[in-house]
Structure 1
Amino acid sequence: MLLAFRTVTKPPIGCTPYIAVYGKACQHRSEFRAQSLLALKHTNFDVQTAGDHRKVQLNELNELRDQAYENSLIYKEKTKRIHDAKIKNRVFNVGDRVLLFNSRLKIFSGKLKSRWSGPFTIVQVFPYGTVELSQNSGPNFKVNGHRIKHYFGGDIPTEVVPDLQTFPKDN
């Protein structure tokens, strides 16, 4: 599993993690024997030439890592641009009516139960997105501005009676 992760090209860096660490492609066991015989055939026993070749390989590895780092920065910038484009800039003013997202409902949620409660009235808007809400019964409370949205409907009746109709069963 780890070998599979290390040998698959990752889009953010533009290469495999194995190549970014070792500077060359991973050789699988089936390829290893043939590659080792080929390497023995082309082995250069001159120490000076082998040292120079290794220095070139290390420089290429540094260039590869620099390129992977630049690719990751470009990928992060693009991802941030896409994320920021989806963020809605909401402006809340004192007296606006809003609905509050109930994040705790995710644990015990019913399929058709709404996660929005309210409406509440904005009493005060603080810097950095904090909003103080007032409710009809109970004290005022502060919430993060990302958890609320504008409420455009009319008044919600206090007692909701479902309008159920029964139809005779077809035989």
Structure 2
Amino acid sequence: MVYGKACHLPVEVEHKAYWAVKECISGLKGGIERKLHLVELECLRFESYEKSMLYKERMKAVHDKNIRRREFRARELVLLYNSRLRLMLGKLRTRWEGPYRVEKAETYGVYHLRHSSSPTIFKVNGHHLKLYHGEKIKSNKKVEVFLLEDAPGGEEI
């Protein structure tokens, strides 16, 4: 240290310059090897890209196979999924609203719905709908109701 500042001796500077020149010369000799490594690295990158594309295609095929295509016709009754209900409390509360009547079905799964109590018609994506079976259930069976206090063979203690 000279007057509080670092100084470099000419020998150190010469040694570093010699080391740099030596590295450059050895780099020129191994240039072919370096190019081969770069080409190999490029091949590995391209191969991994191809494999990832094949994986994505297979995953898309599996996903698309499990998607149920829902098609509704005009005048059918459907239920509409309420996605905003997730923010509200009550985990046993149903997330399906309705029934709504399908007024018109367009291409790409767009449906025009109308509620029975409102004259307004609005558009909905078909993925948010499911068929409503409430009015279709009609049976001629009689239902018998048994109360626990009227159970046969029940004795009071």
TM-score scaled by length of structure 2: 0.66
Q: Of residues 137, 144, 147 in structure 1, which corresponds to 2:125?
A: 144
Structure 2 CA distance for partners of 1:99 and 1:107, relative to 1, 3 Å: same
Query: Tell me, which stretches of 5 or more residues in structure 2 are unaligned?
Result: 1-22, 137-157
1:13-39 Cα distance to aligned partner (Å, 9 max, x none) = xxxxxxxxxxxxxxxxxxxxxxxxxxx
1:25-72 Cα distance to aligned partner (Å, 9 max, x none) = xxxxxxxxxxxxxxxxxx9x7545411110110010000100110011
Larger radius of gyration: 2
Is 2:63 the partner of 1:99? no
Aligned residues: 112
> Partner amino acid for 2:49?
Y
Kindly indicate whether the alpha-carbon contact (under 8 Å) linking 2:112 and 2:124 is maintained by their aligned counterparts in 1.
yes
Kindly indicate whether the alpha-carbon contact (under 8 Å) linking 2:81 and 2:95 is maintained by their aligned counterparts in 1.
yes
> Partner amino acid for 1:92?
F
Partner in structure 1 of residue 13 of structure 2:
none
> Partner amino acid for 1:141?
F
Kindly indicate whether the alpha-carbon contact (under 8 Å) linking 2:71 and 2:109 is maintained by their aligned counterparts in 1.
no
Structure 2 CA distance for partners of 1:120 and 1:47, relative to 1, 3 Å: closer
CA distance in 2 between counterparts of 1:122 and 1:46 reads 78
Structure 2 CA distance for partners of 1:79 and 1:93, relative to 1, 3 Å: same
SS of the residue 1:131 aligns to: strand
Q: Of residues 42, 67, 87 in structure 2, which corresponds to 1:87?
A: 67
Kindly indicate whether the alpha-carbon contact (under 8 Å) linking 2:101 and 2:116 is maintained by their aligned counterparts in 1.
no
Is 2:75 the partner of 1:114? no
Report deviation, 1:143: 0.9
CA distance in 2 between counterparts of 1:137 and 1:130 reads 22
Moved segments of 4+, more than 3 Å? 45-49
Partner in structure 1 of residue 53 of structure 2:
73
SS of the residue 1:88 aligns to: coil
